[in-house]
Amino acid sequence: MKAQGLVVYAVTRNHELTSGIPVRLITSGAIAAVVADADLEVLAKLDVEPIEEGPLAALVREHDAVVRAVAEHEPVLPLRFGSVVREDDDVVRLLDSGRDEMARRLDEVEHHSEWGVRVEHVAPVSAAPTEGLSGTEYLLRRKRELGDAERERRVRQDAVGDLHASLGRHAKAVTTGQRRPQALLDAAYLVPHRNRAAFEAELARLRTPLERLGATVHATGPWPPYSFARIELAVSS
Amino acid sequence: MDQRSSSLADVLERVLDKGVVIVGDIAVNIVDVELLTLRLRLFVASAQTAKEMGMDWWTGDPFFAPRAAAVAELARSNAELRTQIAALEQALGVQAVTREGLL
């Protein structure tokens, strides 16, 4: 017999799904989980490399597509990719365990989208030749180069601070992380739909000076509120 | 704002680390699902995406690699010398044959 399981994509409100995606709802009171039946063996045997056009990439994109499709009509709390349970009853228990918190969080993210902004700077390599320099000359030049770099770093830091503060004014909530060593900013903004135009205009206005300072600004969005759905559901069967 | 479809790295970053998490034994305990997540993490960190993800930061940092430009120059002059040596060897070879011919 095939080992069947349920992939859980998201938690949303208990309303009928209007999109044509091949998923179903398991409900508990006012909230519902968006699930799809899955053959666990297929999931378990996916030992291909996660390359751009491979099966894993397809699954990851499918997860995002399902969450987005639901988010078009209802507020949504995405589950982490790869959330799998055994049967419908497990999903009900899951919903029951955090019903109030999830209902509250759904209210918070309703009519909001997430935007990601990452600012990075890679210091350029000194291009000046070192031939013919004495040790002292070389060290003096290194000192000067490092001093210049430090001044430029402070200017960039100020510009990043401006950007973050200004974007934050258009957002309901902000999270920041810094998992990459050269990231000057790695933030997610929960932006009300009505502020979208203002947020984008602010981003377009403030990214230019940063790019002129040699930084790269990587902006993505709109996303479903992935970064604003950090809830742990602990359930034992 | 960039409205093209998101890059795989961008999507991975969102769907792997974030969102509602199920803990406890209700989550299907398939090691391979964990492995799958692990693989995806490795993919994010792989050399292919390392640059985009900013994990090769040390290569361009002037403090850690102040001589990166000098190293490139060294490689260039090495190649140039090799070409010159090859040309000289060839010239010498011709000369040797010529000398043999003279003997």
Average pLDDT, chain B: 64
**Per-residue model confidence (pLDDT) at position A128:** 75
A-B contacts (CB, under 8 Å): 175
| ipTM of predicted complex | 0.84
**59-88 in A: which are within 8 Å (CB) of B?**
60-61, 63-64, 77-86
Greater confidence (B91 vs A32) lies with A32
pLDDT at A190 exceeding the cut of 50:
yes
Query: pTM for the complete prediction?
Result: 0.75
Is residue A118 pLDDT above 70, yes or no? yes
User: For residues A171 and A230, which has the higher predicted lDDT (pLDDT)?
Assistant: A171
Angstrom CA distances, B90 to A158, A197, B86, B94, B101, stand at: 61, 70, 6, 6, 17
- Which own/partner contact pairs does A149-158 have at CB distance under 8 Å and 24+ positions apart? A149/A123, A149/B62, A152/A213, A152/A214, A153/A121, A155/A213, A156/A121, A156/A184, A156/A210, A156/A213, A156/A214, A156/A215, A157/A184
Do residues A203 and A107 touch, judged by C-beta distance below 8 A?
A: no
Instruction: Say yes or no to pLDDT of A132 above 70.
Output: yes
Q: For B8-19, how does the pLDDT look when each residue is reduced to its tens digit (9 = 90+)? A: 888 888 887 788
Provide the pLDDT for residue B18: 84
- For residue B2, the model assigns a pLDDT of 41
Contacts of B23 in chain A (CB under 8 A): 232-235
Looking at residue A219, its pLDDT comes to 95
pLDDT at B84 (0 to 100): 84
Whether A131 has a pLDDT exceeding 90, the answer reads no
Predicted local confidence at residue A223, as pLDDT: 97
Angle, helix A55-71 to helix B31-45, in steps of 10 degrees: 90
Q: Return d(Cα A147, Cα A156) in angstroms, integer.
A: 14
Chain B hits for A116, Cβ within 8 Å: 10, 13-14
What pLDDT was estimated at residue B28? 67
The helix/strand/coil state of A116 is strand
Laid out side by side, the sheet with A216-223 consists of A173-176, A183-192, A112-120, A216-223
SS (H, E, C) B4-73: CCCCHHHHHHHHHHCCEEEECCCECCCHHHHHHHHHHHHHHHCHHHHHHHCCCHHHHCCCCCCCHHHHHH
Answer yes or no: is pLDDT of A105 > 90: yes
Mean of all residue pLDDT scores within chain A: 89
Question: Which among A44, A122, A236 has the least Cβ separation from residue B57?
Answer: A122
Q: How far apart are CA A8 and CA A2, in angstroms?
A: 19
B1/A86 touch (CB, cutoff 8 Å), yes or no: no
Q: What percent of chain A has pLDDT over 90?
A: 61
CA distance A10 to A7: 9
Reply yes or no on whether the pLDDT at A170 is more than 80.
yes
* pLDDT class of A21 with cuts at 50, 70, 90: confident
A167 vs A34: CA distance, rounded Å? 32
Which residues in chain B touch residue A219, judged by CB atoms under 8 angstroms apart? 1-2
pLDDT at B37: 62
